[in-house]
Amino acid sequence: MNDSALSQKVYSFLLSTYRWYLKTPERSLEEAYQAALKIQEIENKHFKGKKISPESAMYSSNVMDYFQTELKKLLKTARMRLTEFKVSRWFSNESKQKAAAKTGIAYPNMSVILEKLRFIDQIISKYTETITTTSNIVSSNSAIVQPSTAKSRVPDINNKPRRKVDTISVLPRSILSTITRLQVELDPHSEEDVVKNFRQTQRRTIISIRFILLLIIVPLLTHQLSKALVVGPLIDNWRNQDTTQIFLNQEMEEEALVNLQRFEERIKFENLISNAPILSPEEVETMMKEKAQQLAEEFRRESSGAIKNVFADVCSIVAFIWLLLVSKSSIVELKDFFDQVIYGLSDSAKAFIIILFTDIFVGFHSPHGWEVILEGISRHWGLPANRDFIFLFIATFPVILDTIFKYWIFRYLNRISPSAVATYHNMNE
């Protein structure tokens, strides 16, 4: 290959690269326009020309998740390409336009550009409104409890729990609620809004219950499968090779010794009270050896099970964290579901739940419960029950919990529901 041919190839490559650079505004605008067209196609085909949302059509949660994922991808593409278009147009001056004309690139007509931009803005503007999920939840709750007050466009109803915290009205809230309810009852579209809000609440409840079941079933299933299929065989193989290690800690050894002593005392006692022939020392010794071997096998299995529990619990925690990371939308739905349930309770029910939880975890009898829990956890992992640590934990942790409960009641519940706090104090006294 001679130098002229090589120079010609380099020149062609540089020219094509320069043309690609000069066509960046047109290419970015076209990609954003195509993304907007795909969004419009989904709207026309699956949502009767309306925006992509659960209110526009009735689909299952999995189908809606698919549409929402596609919508997010297309919106992200359109916005990124619009940004790229704006930046590239800012750098595109008159000299570069002349250079583009020399290379055979014709800039599109200004009317075409404006038409595409107008269409993209028309599609994207539908999804730039920030609607909080909590407001919709509260509106749905109002629709179920009082169908006549379900008008979602009334801000005082939609944001009732939040507004109680953030604002203080001049008139009593009962009067404002009555006026708002009358306005909604006179609205001819209230029945349609009731049905729409009920469907939203039903969908949210199904997602929340399903997610709660997943949070329970997935870690438990991971624990059992990892313990039986992965961790169990490895630990059993390692423990079988080491025949001398039976007890994980001294407490297990002392427990086995106590059981063996009680067995020996029971044999002697039965010899004294029964009419059967008295056992000889050799027979007693033989029975003691059999019992010792049985206890050794039992505590070997318990020690192996404790080691398996440690690794299986780690796998369960990893599965639980992974489930939380991949289910952010479900977490939001679950939080709003709990908000809906809590705000829907009566004042006496709220006070009852608060007293129940405080008495269980920070009440007078709670130290005994914490002691049982900590000893059970220690035995589950094969650790010796450190009495000093248990007493220190009981002396500090319930106090911290009690402080958090009292601060929450003073800081938040007292503003959200003062009558519930008054009921709580009356029941507590």
Tokens of 170: 């001049």
C-alpha–C-alpha distance, residues 121 and 125, integer Å: 6
Question: What is the DSSP secondary-structure string of 56-82?
Answer: TS---HHHHHHHHHHHHHHHHHHHHHH
Per residue of the chain (429 residues), give pLDDT as tens.
Answer: 555 666 666 656 666 666 666 677 788 888 888 988 989 888 888 888 888 888 777 777 777 878 888 888 898 888 888 888 887 776 655 555 555 555 555 556 678 888 888 888 888 888 875 333 333 433 444 333 343 333 333 334 344 444 444 445 555 556 766 777 666 666 666 677 777 778 888 888 898 899 999 999 999 999 999 988 888 888 888 777 656 677 887 888 888 899 999 998 888 888 888 776 777 888 888 888 998 989 888 888 888 888 889 999 999 999 999 999 988 888 888 888 888 888 788 888 888 888 888 888 887 778 888 888 998 898 888 888 888 888 899 889 888 988 998 888 888 888 877 888 888 888 777
C-alpha–C-alpha distance, residues 86 and 93, integer Å: 13
Q: Work out the end-to-end distance of the chain between its first and last CA atoms, rounded to an integer number of angstroms.
A: 100
C-alpha–C-alpha distance, residues 238 and 62, integer Å: 45
Residue 146 and residue 194 in contact, taking contact as beta carbons nearer than 8 Å: no
Write the CB contacts of 287 (distance below 8 Å, at least 6 apart in sequence): 267, 279
Type of residue at 149: T
Nearest to 246 by CA among 303, 293, 294: 303
C-alpha–C-alpha distance, residues 221 and 195, integer Å: 38
Type of residue at 269: F
How buried is residue 250: exposed, middle or buried, by Cβ count under 10 Å (0-12/13-18/19+)? exposed
Helical packing angle, 3-22 and 24-46, nearest 10°: 50
C-alpha–C-alpha distance, residues 115 and 86, integer Å: 15
How buried is residue 41: exposed, middle or buried, by Cβ count under 10 Å (0-12/13-18/19+)? exposed
Residue 343 and residue 413 in contact, taking contact as beta carbons nearer than 8 Å: no
Question: What is the DSSP secondary-structure string of 71-134?
Answer: HHHHHHHHHHHHHHHHHHHHH--HHHHHHHHHTTPPPPPHHHHHHHHHHHHHHHGGG-----HH
What's the number of CA atoms in the CB half-sphere (13 Å) around residue 182?
5
The radius of gyration of the chain from alpha carbons, rounded to an integer in Å, stands at 36
Residue 151 and residue 193 in contact, taking contact as beta carbons nearer than 8 Å: yes
| Residue count of the chain | 429
pTM over 0.75: no
pLDDT value of position 157: 36
pLDDT value of position 156: 41
C-alpha–C-alpha distance, residues 326 and 334, integer Å: 14
CA dihedral over 280, 282, 288, 291, signed as positive or negative: negative
User: Phi/psi of residue 248, each to 5°?
Assistant: -80, -30
Residue 293 and residue 235 in contact, taking contact as beta carbons nearer than 8 Å: no
Nearest to 371 by CA among 357, 401, 392, 399: 392
C-alpha–C-alpha distance, residues 379 and 382, integer Å: 5
